[in-house]
Amino acid sequence: MSKLYKSLFEFPREERFVSGHRLCAGCTIGPVMRLLTKIAGKDTIFVNATGCLEVSSTPYPYTSWRNPWIHVAFENAGAVASGVEAALKILKKKGVLEKDIKVIAIGGDGGTVDIGFQALSGMLERGHKVMYVLYDNEAYMNTGIQRSGATPYGAWTTTTPAGKVWRGEWRPKKDIDSIVAAHRVPYVATASPAYPIDLANKFKKGLDYTEEGPTFVHILIPCTTGWRFDSSLGIKLARLAVETGMWILYEIDHGEFRVTYPVKRRKPIKEYLKPQGRFRHLTEEEIEKIQKLVDKEVERINRIVGKEVIGPVA
């Protein structure tokens, strides 16, 4: 394992995800990609599923990517990355390629937990040396805020509207990280753009461990248009998600579960929900129900760790 980052000043200076892209103002995937490409460096091939990031960063004939980058379709980033990795492996073996080239696949929540789930599972199960980065904005934002398997309980989307009968999404968010971990891959982590050093080190570990097999980094990406909040609040909301226990930062390093950002006293979930238009319809009782769901998840995590790493609501 190479040295981990301790401060922002240690991040590589070279820009590899460059300006001019068409992401929404205030979108949090831009800074995350900027960081990811810096840490990955020059000798990395990126495979991108269809989604916000893909369409916004490559409007022909322009591109924001200074690395080799490929997009094929929505549901197959895992498969395309498998093909790239297999090709690199055999071309190196046959002496056509000399250097080591890393492979990173990137998909949104729809492209990963729903339509791309099978291709992802295949890639993980076959042991391809790829780091898969899931940027999770909790709905199909690129097509206009439709519900996905990663949409949280209570959230309004255009296909789970809040009306007299429906009250937004009524099913809990799919636990993709446990499913990925069940493939017994060397590294699984959750991360947040509000904690860049934690995020950078997870990218670093994820990339280093690809020597052994596939790795997975799951980032919660606040979406100004889909979550309906002021475009200046993205990072703040990402932080509130962690501080309220809605999003717990952890890693599973060779089966070893570790919370990387313990929270002694949680803020009430209301503080996370309030600035977001997608939760505006919720009543006090419904907010209370979400609080209970969060409490239950915190309990589950504390039980795995074996001690209270995420504390009670202050």
Partner 1 sequence: MASLGIVKEVKRPKPLSTNSAIAYATKDLDVDVVSAYPITPQTTVVEKIADFIANGELDAEMIHVESEHSALSAAIGAAATGARTFTATASQGLALMHEILHIASGMRTPIVMSVAMRALSAPISIWNDHSDVMNARDSSWIIYFVSSAQEAYDTIIQAFKLAEDSEILLPVMVSYDGYVMSHTIEPVITEERDDVLKFAPKRPFSYRLDPDKPVTMGPIADPNWFYEIKYQQVIAMEKALVKAREIDEEFKKTFGRGYGIYECFMCDDAEALIVAKTSYATTLKTILPRMWEKGYKVGLLRLRLYRPFPVEDFKNILDKVNAILVIDRAISYGAPLQGPLAMEFSSLISREDLNLNLTSVVAGIGQRRMIDSDFENLVKLAWESRTKKFDKTIFYGVRT
Residues 6+ apart with CB under 8 A from 3: none
Contact status: 143 vs partner 1 (CB under 8 A) = no
Candidate segments 76-84, 155-163, 210-218, 230-238, binder of partner 1 by CB under 8 A: 76-84
Backbone φ and ψ for 18, nearest 5 degrees, come out as: -105, 165
Candidate segments 62-70, 161-169, 235-243, 286-294, binder of partner 1 by CB under 8 A: 62-70
Q: How many residues bind partner 1 (CB under 8 A)?
A: 48
Residues 6+ apart with CB under 8 A from 37: 15, 16, 17, 44, 46, 65, 66, 67
Evaluate the CA torsion angle 3, 5, 6, 12 in order and state its sign: positive
Evaluate the CA torsion angle 263, 269, 275, 279 in order and state its sign: positive
Contact status: 36 vs partner 1 (CB under 8 A) = no
Dist. CA 275–CA 270, nearest whole Å: 9
Q: How far is the CB of 4 from partner 1 (least distance, A)?
A: 24
- Whether the bond between 61 and the residue before it is cis, its omega within 30 degrees of 0, is yes
Which one of residues 8, 42, 264, 288 is an interface residue with partner 1 (CB under 8 A)? 42
Dist. CA 223–CA 231, nearest whole Å: 9
Contact status: 88 vs partner 1 (CB under 8 A) = yes
Contact status: 60 vs partner 1 (CB under 8 A) = yes
Q: How far is the CB of 6 from partner 1 (least distance, A)?
A: 28
Contact status: 182 vs partner 1 (CB under 8 A) = no
Contact status: 305 vs partner 1 (CB under 8 A) = no
Distance of CA 116 to the CA centre of its chain: 14
Contact status: 83 vs partner 1 (CB under 8 A) = yes
CB 256 within 8 A of CB 146: no
Candidate segments 43-51, 132-140, 155-163, 168-176, binder of partner 1 by CB under 8 A: 43-51
Candidate segments 63-71, 193-201, 208-216, 291-299, binder of partner 1 by CB under 8 A: 63-71
Per DSSP, the residues of 134-181 read EEE-SSBTTTTSB--TTPPTT---SSS-BSSS-BS--SPPP-HHHHHH
Q: Which helix (H) or strand (E) holds 32?
A: helix 29-40
**In this complex, which beta carbon is closest to partner 1, that of residue 69 or of residue 247?**
69
Contact status: 82 vs partner 1 (CB under 8 A) = yes
Which one of residues 84, 113, 241, 309 is an interface residue with partner 1 (CB under 8 A)? 84
Dist. CA 169–CA 237, nearest whole Å: 20
> Pairing between strand 102-108 and 215-220?
unpaired
Contact status: 18 vs partner 1 (CB under 8 A) = no
Candidate segments 3-11, 47-55, 186-194, 273-281, binder of partner 1 by CB under 8 A: 47-55
Contact status: 72 vs partner 1 (CB under 8 A) = yes
Residues of this chain that interact with partner 1 (CB under 8 A) are 42-45, 47, 54-55, 58-61, 63, 65-73, 75-76, 78-91, 93-94, 96, 99, 101, 118-119, 121-122, 125-126
